[in-house]
Amino acid sequence: MLVIQRDSPGPLAASLTFGCGSRDDEIDSIGLTHLVQHLVHWDELHVTEQSEDNVWVIETSFTAAGPPDQVAARFTDICAAVSRLPPKDLSDAVADLDADSLYVSNIDDGLLDPWGSLLARRYGPRGHGLSRWPAVDYELLTADEVRRHVQRFFTNDNAVLSVTADAPQAMRLGLPAGPRPTHDTTLAHHRFGPVWYADEVHGVALVVGVEPSVEAVLLMSMLRSRVVRAVEQAGVAELAELMSEVIDGTRHELGIRVIPGDGRKAKSFDAAVAAEAIWTELLRLVHSGPDPEEIADFLSPEDVPIPASLVPLFESRAWAKPIEKVDSAVQQELFGTAELYYSDRLTELAGFTPEAARDVMSNWLSSAMIVVPYGSQPNLPGVTDDSCPRTRFVPAGEVIRPPLLKRLGNKGSLVIGTDTISTVDGDGTAHTVPLSEALVAERFGALWLAHLGHGCVTRISDFADAADKLRAVLPPRRFRQAPKSRLL
């Protein structure tokens, strides 16, 4: 196993990182990587002064800090626990665990996230495209699936240990042998952009595929600042977020997400205006480049004080900062690329010019994709509408209509056929999902129908009475609902 050491004063900190994250699950086993993390803790691990474990999109990490003997014992236990997976009593191990159905329990963070929608559209039901979808109930996952997942991803050659001092000799990292795996990073939709489409999302987002570079991150940060000013001036939103995904050594995804605020702020949100602001500012930046003064401002950032409400959080995680400085080197070793932050590489950007910026952005428009909520009709000159197809043809099946009290507001229907599920609008246009690509999510009686092939979602809560019928025609792993303990 590769060990990366970056000496730092203070208690020993260490992190064991596996090149396996949520993107390495499969559509019918989403949550499997999280389950492995939970099962490691099914064994009793030595306690250290500080510890945390995380499953991210591309990696899983176990981190701890404290006296060397404690750190050594904890990581020895972690590796021993991995080597023993799956446990003989898997059903007991998952009995008290909720599947990580965060996206079912918190709809805005999953199914309705516009960034998740873009990734699902871009990559299909695999890899980064899985980030939109709810997890499978842990009780449906089998010991064989856990065993195969561990044998493929949680191996000695797919792990890196990072430390802030010499690793204790007592640390025994006995992991299973196995080659470093490949990751599916293929695009599911190759249509030449720019395109926009409508989906069941809570906000607006843009994604562009970029060649990994700090210059690209700098320019997307500039775009975010411009979009913030534009939506604030229009009075439709107050926040635009910079989004980033590490794909592989040749491609990262960068973008902007604008979501409604809370309470009264949400009422003023206008998705069409927000999308138009994003597109206008993107065109202006790509064609004209940033102003020299704008570049200078970004390369000479002012120190911004941490908000008082966040100070306790930052202080509580101060122990992890030394080991987090090694994250980039760890990702570079595992994936041949790493998450990039322009603020960490300011010296490399000295002399960056508007002309160089235009070269970096030369292919941005061809990969640009924008998503807006259903019902929005943004004016985006030069952008093709690539929304999911709707036709007048409705496959045969059982027709389900809303309850009487809801028919005044919804004159559509849900048609459940032998191999399709269709939502039919009041005007007779239908969106049909092949049963093999359908997924239904349920939360507190609300229902959403997903087309995994398109990456889109349709709210079908007016047909909640059809939940049992949908459950009957779908495989158990394709009907996902918030865990019962969260529904109480």
Residue 309 lies in a domain: yes
Place of tokens 């990696």: 59
Enter the tokens of residue 335: 């994936």
Structural domains of the chain, count: 3
Per-residue pLDDT at 486: 40
Mark whether 351 and 473 lie in a shared domain: no
Angle in degrees, 0-180, between the axes of helices 214-234 and 292-299, rounded to the nearest 10: 110
Helix/strand/coil for 478: helix
Enter the tokens of residue 458: 């349709």
Mark whether 204 and 157 lie in a shared domain: no
Enter the tokens of residue 42: 């099914």
Per-residue pLDDT at 308: 83
What tens digit of pLDDT does each residue of 304-333 get?
A: 677 788 788 888 889 999 999 999 999 999
Residue 460 pLDDT level (bands cut at 50, 70, 90) = very high
> What is the C-alpha to C-alpha distance for residues 73 and 90, in angstroms, rounded to an integer?
25
Under 8 Å CB-to-CB from 21, ≥6 apart: which residues?
Answer: 33, 55, 56, 57, 58, 59, 60
Domain that holds residue 341: 195-385
Q: Is the pLDDT of residue 228 over 70?
A: yes
Per-residue pLDDT at 107: 63
Mark whether 353 and 403 lie in a shared domain: no
Would you mind telling me the total number of residues written for the chain in this entry? 488
Laid out side by side, the sheet with 241-248 consists of 241-248, 251-258, 204-210, 369-373, 195-199, 384-385
Q: Select from 222, 224, 215 the least CA-distant residue to 242.
A: 224
Amino acid at 152: R
Mark whether 7 and 46 lie in a shared domain: yes
Residue 185 lies in a domain: no
Per-residue pLDDT at 108: 62
Asked whether the whole model's pTM tops 0.85, one would answer yes
> What is the C-alpha to C-alpha distance for residues 216 and 359, in angstroms, rounded to an integer?
10
Mark whether 248 and 376 lie in a shared domain: yes
φ, ψ at 19 (rounded to 5°): -80, 60
> What is the C-alpha to C-alpha distance for residues 22 and 116, in angstroms, rounded to an integer?
13
* Cα–Cα distances in angstroms (integers) from residue 447 to residues 6, 136, 444, 482, in the given order: 50, 16, 9, 11
Residue 487 pLDDT level (bands cut at 50, 70, 90) = very low
Mark whether 319 and 463 lie in a shared domain: no
Laid out side by side, the sheet with 430-434 consists of 398-400, 413-416, 420-424, 430-434
Residue 128 lies in a domain: no
φ, ψ at 414 (rounded to 5°): -115, 130
∠ at Cα 452 (422, 133), nearest 5°?
115
Residue 190 lies in a domain: no
Mark whether 368 and 275 lie in a shared domain: yes
Transcribe 93-156 into DSSP letters: HHHT-----HHHHSGGGTTT-HHHHHHHHHH-SSGGGGGGSPPPPGGGS-HHHHHHHHHHHSSG
Residue 305 lies in a domain: yes
Q: How many other C-beta atoms can be found within 10 angstroms of the C-beta atom of residue 309?
A: 7
Enter the tokens of residue 126: 């695999």
Per-residue pLDDT at 82: 95
Percent of the chain with pLDDT over 90: 71
What tens digit of pLDDT does each residue of 268-313 get?
A: 899 999 999 999 999 999 999 999 889 988 888 776 677 788 788 8
Mark whether 378 and 409 lie in a shared domain: no
Q: Is the pLDDT of residue 343 over 90?
A: no
Higher pLDDT pick, 404 / 463: 463
CATH of the domain at 417: 2.30.29
Lowest mean per-residue pLDDT among 102-111, 112-121, 229-238, 425-434: 102-111
What tens digit of pLDDT does each residue of 352-384 get?
A: 899 999 999 999 999 999 999 999 999 999 999
Mark whether 324 and 440 lie in a shared domain: no
CATH of the domain at 149: 3.30.830.10
